[in-house]
């Protein structure tokens, strides 16, 4: 298939007063039509600069970007602006016009290309229907929640039937539930209208949720790219590994001094007691000592567990274990 | 203050003295000078302020030379005391108005003084507009004029109205110095009759009328700016 976006050896250097920062150090990447392409990296990796190069909001220092084989760097100002109407963009902070109501915000891109006012309003209402905000047409952005503002921004982005939608940290200012619903909306848009979506994010969960492909940007360079499965199952570079393993929240160090000894005498060996307890109480324990064996299907032996600091959770755990007919006793000063 | 006004009325033996009706007439002279000068100053100052924002470093059409010139002009003109500007502008006033005295001739120096001040007010209002919103408009393919008109000016309108109210008050204050060239208006009367002739009652009446005018303008300005601001819930 023909790539819709070709990033060709793009570099970007910002000149400071007495230093220069190489934000992008020669990135080449093809994005195919219909992809949901995640571009992920730590903050400062250069991903926001990269996405701004895709519509030339930032002009690359060297290298170029081709949109459907048309070279953005060879375009006149007028042609570039015309091409930008095919590449919509949504932002972390929504960037809505605060003095216009929702309907007029969605009409704005159509005003730019000269759509007749009545037609623009009709189309805007349809778009608000799609994003599920038709009853908010007359509201102002200040009256909306973050998720609703991003929905307005998405409706606005779709106004001129773009071929590409660029999302710059579009869910980073939203809570997890809202993030999920916005991602579902993006997925639906990709499926229903065949719009190629490029998602810039620092959250691997976002990539996991909806992306088909992912590129990892590290320190201005393309560290790794491929399908999400490939990169997930076998991350090769340190940058990729760091991002992939970050999905599992890092183990907090246990600081609690509260320890218990549990003795197994009559439990089934097949019942994963400790694992179930952890799932039930949603808090980790630290296994300091474990000496158990399976004798004819019955678990025998003992364990010493370090419990979480939270008194309520610790009490719940002890209660859970006692319910399971385990002998539980508190051990003093096992850890200093 | 009140004693002096009451004494004046007692001495004159009437409240509606010729001086009082002269004062009321001059409310219109003051308003004429203030409003016309402010409007004309906006014709110069608004484009100047916009140009400063656009050409500033990091602006939409960065141009160091133009920015430096505008910035310099705005500072120089604002540093000249209005009284001096009034006299310095006399030759220009004679060319434009045809005479160097009267309310209309005060409009020339008032415009000269107010325009750079307005440019600064407009500049600071436009700089308050979120850079991200401008970027969003650019990403939609908006051109420079669309961004100026529909993003910068439209988004900054509340702040621009507040600025215009401040400008009106300042120009009203400047217009009081119009007496130097026989400009007329309340400020002129306060100086001529109140100060030079020591008629304190007249001076105080002028001051009260000026306070009422400024309060009125401020009230209307605040009302309109609040009414048009859609950022509040």
* Domain residue extents for chain A: 3-245, 259-331
Report domain B2-228's class.
mainly alpha
Please list the ranges in chain A whose pLDDT falls under 70. 1, 246-255, 333-336
**Shortest alpha-carbon distance between residue A326 and chain B (Å):** 58
For B215, the 3-state DSSP assignment is helix
Element (H, E) at B79: helix B64-79
Residues from chain B that touch A95, judged by Cβ atoms under 8 A, are 130, 132-133, 135-136
Q: Which residue of A has its CA nearest to B151?
A: A97
Partner residue opposite B151 with nearest CB, options A85, A88, A97: A97
Residue with tokens 């997930």: A232
CA distance B115 to chain A (A): 27
Q: Where does residue A253 rank: exposed (0-12), middle (13-18), buried (19+ CB within 10 A)? A: exposed
Q: Which residues of A touch B228 (CB under 8 A)?
A: 99
Q: In this structure, what token pair is assigned to residue A319?
A: 């209660």
Query: What is the Cα–Cα distance from B103 to B175, expressed in whole angstroms?
Result: 9
State which residues of chain B have pLDDT below 70: 233
| Distance of alpha carbon B21 from alpha carbon B24, whole angstroms | 5
Residue A62 and residue A13 in contact, taking contact as beta carbons nearer than 8 Å:
no
- Interchain contact B137–A (C-beta under 8 A): yes
A106, A149 Cβ separation under 8 angstroms:
no
What is the gyration radius of the CA atoms in chain A, in angstroms?
27
| Cα-Cα-Cα-Cα dihedral sign, residues B171, B173, B177, B178 | positive
Report the gap between the CA of A136 and the closest CA in chain B (Å).
14
- Bridge-based pairing of strands A87-91 and A164-168 is parallel
Q: What is the pLDDT of residue B37?
A: 96
Predicted TM-score (pTM) of the model is 0.81
Nearest CA in chain B to A145: B233
Q: Give A183-227 pLDDT, tens digit per residue.
A: 999 999 999 999 999 999 998 889 988 999 999 999 999 999 999
Give the pairing type, strands A62-67 and A70-71: antiparallel
CB atoms within 10 A of CB A251: 8
The domain segmentation of chain B, as residue ranges, is: 2-228
- A49-83 burial, b at 16+ Cβ within 10 Å, e below that, comes to bbbbbbbbbbebbebbbbbeeeebeebeeeebbeb
CA B9, chain centre distance (Å): 33
Q: How much is the pLDDT for B192? A: 84
Chain A contact for B146 (CB, 8 A cutoff): yes
> Is A57 close to B139, i.e. CB distance below 8 A?
yes
Q: Pairing between strand A20-32 and A36-40?
A: unpaired
CB contact under 8 A, A84 and B140: yes
Name the CATH superfamily housing domain A3-245: P-loop containing nucleotide triphosphate hydrolases (3.40.50.300)
The whole-angstrom distance between A189's CA and the closest CA on chain B is 18
Q: Are A205 and A180 in contact (CB under 8 A)?
A: no
| B179 contacts: CB under 8 Å, gap ≥ 6 | B185, B187, B188, B189, B191, B192
Question: What integer pLDDT is reported at residue A35 of this predicted model?
Answer: 95
Q: Residue A333: left if φ>0, alpha if ψ -120 to 50, beta else—which one?
A: left
Residue A250 DSSP symbol = P
Contact between B110 and B77 (Cβ < 8 Å): no
**B200/A contact by beta carbon, under 8 A:** no
Alpha helix segments (H runs only) across A211-285: 228-233, 238-245, 273-281
Alpha helices in A62-164 (DSSP H): 77-84, 102-113, 117-130, 146-158
- Asked whether the beta carbons of B34 and B173 are under 8 A apart, the reply is no
Tell me the shortest Cα–Cα distance from B156 to chain A, in angstroms: 9
Q: Which stretches within A1-140 are classed as H helix?
A: 47-54, 77-84, 102-113, 117-130
Q: How far apart are CA B46 and CA B118, in angstroms?
A: 7
The encoded tokens of residue A202 equal: 């620092």
Q: For residue A15, what is the enclosing H or E element?
A: strand A3-15
CATH number (1.10.760.10, 1.10.150.120, 3.30.70.260, 3.90.330.10) of A259-331 reads 3.30.70.260
d(CA B138, CA B51): 18
CB atoms within 10 A of CB A275: 9
Which of A98, A101, A104, A113 to mutate against chain B (most B CBs within 10 Å)? A98
Identify which of A307, A275, A306, A274 has the alpha carbon closest to the alpha carbon of residue A289.
A306
Asked if residue A112 lies in contact with residue B140, where contact means CB atoms within 8 angstroms, the answer is: yes
Residue B123 CA to its chain's centroid (Å): 16
pLDDT score recorded for residue A249? 47
Least Cα distance to A299 among A281, A326, A275, A280 occurs for A326
pLDDT in the model for residue B113: 94
Q: Taking Cα atoms as reference points, which of A152, B72, B190, A53 lies closest to residue B64?
A: B72
Q: What is the pLDDT of residue A252?
A: 53
Give the pLDDT confidence score for residue A336 in this predicted structure: 59
Distance CA A15, CA A64 (A): 19
Written as six digits, the tokens of A274 are 């400790």
* Interface check A91 vs B, CB under 8 A: yes
> A30-45: b or e for each residue (b if 16 or more CB lie within 10 Å)?
bbeeebbbbbbbbeeb
């Amino acid at each position: 298939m023909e790539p819709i976006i070709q990033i060709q050896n793009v570099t970007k250097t910002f000149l400071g007063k007495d230093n220069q920062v190489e934000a992008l150090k020669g990135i080449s990447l093809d994005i195919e039509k219909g992809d949901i392409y995640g571009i992920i990296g730590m903050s400062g990796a250069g991903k926001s600069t990269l996405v701004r190069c895709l519509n030339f909001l930032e002009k690359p220092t060297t290298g170029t970007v081709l949109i459907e084989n048309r070279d953005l760097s060879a375009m006149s100002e007028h042609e570039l602006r015309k091409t930008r109407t095919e590449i919509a963009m949504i932002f972390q902070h929504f960037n809505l016009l605060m003095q216009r109501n929702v309907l007029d915000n969605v009409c704005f891109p159509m005003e730019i290309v000269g759509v007749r006012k009545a037609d623009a309003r009709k189309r805007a209402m349809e778009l608000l229907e799609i994003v599920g905000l038709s009853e908010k047409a007359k509201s102002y952005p200040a009256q909306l929640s973050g998720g609703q503002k991003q929905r307005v921004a998405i409706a606005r982005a779709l106004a001129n039937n773009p071929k590409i939608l660029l999302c710059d940290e579009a869910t980073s200012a939203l809570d997890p539930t809202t993030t999920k619903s916005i991602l579902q909306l993006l997925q639906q848009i990709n499926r229903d209208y065949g719009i190629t979506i490029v998602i810039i994010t620092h959250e691997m969960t976002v990539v996991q949720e909806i992306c088909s492909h992912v590129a990892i940007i590290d320190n201005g360079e393309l560290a790794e790219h491929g399908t999400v499965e490939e990169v997930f199952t076998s991350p090769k570079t340190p940058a990729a590994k760091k991002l992939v393993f970050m999905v599992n929240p890092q183990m907090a160090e246990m600081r609690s001094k509260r320890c218990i000894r549990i003795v197994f005498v009559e439990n089934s060996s097949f019942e994963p007691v400790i694992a179930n307890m952890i799932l039930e109480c949603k808090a980790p324990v630290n296994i300091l000592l474990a000496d158990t064996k399976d004798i004819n299907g019955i678990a025998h032996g003992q364990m010493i567990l370090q419990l979480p600091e939270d008194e309520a959770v610790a009490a719940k755990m002890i209660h859970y274990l006692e319910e399971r007919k385990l002998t539980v006793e508190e051990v003093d000063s096992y850890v200093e | 203050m009140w004693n002096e006004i009451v004494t004046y009325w007692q001495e004159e033996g009437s409240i509606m003295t010729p001086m009082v009706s002269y004062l009321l007439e001059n409310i219109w002279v003051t308003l004429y000078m203030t409003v016309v000068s402010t409007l004309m100053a906006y014709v110069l100052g608004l484009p100047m302020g916009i140009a400063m924002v656009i050409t500033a470093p990091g602006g939409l059409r960065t141009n160091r030379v133009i920015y430096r010139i505008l910035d310099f002009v705005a500072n120089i003109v604002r540093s000249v005391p209005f009284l001096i500007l009034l006299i310095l502008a006399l030759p220009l006033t004679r060319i434009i108005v045809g005479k160097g005295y009267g309310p209309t001739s005060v409009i020339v120096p008032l415009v000269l003084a107010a325009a750079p001040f307005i440019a600064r007010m407009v500049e600071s209002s436009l700089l308050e507009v979120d850079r991200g919103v401008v970027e969003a408009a650019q990403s939609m393919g908006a051109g420079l004029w669309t961004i100026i008109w529909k993003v910068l000016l439209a988004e900054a309108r509340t702040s621009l109205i507040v600025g215009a109210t401040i400008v009106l008050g300042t120009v009203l204050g400047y217009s009081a110095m119009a007496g130097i060239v026989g400009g007329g208006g309340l400020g002129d009367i306060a100086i001529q009759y109140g100060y030079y002739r020591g008629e304190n009652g007249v001076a105080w009446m002028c001051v009260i009328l000026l306070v009422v005018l400024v309060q009125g303008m401020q009230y209307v300005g605040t009302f309109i700016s609040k009414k048009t601001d859609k950022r509040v819930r």
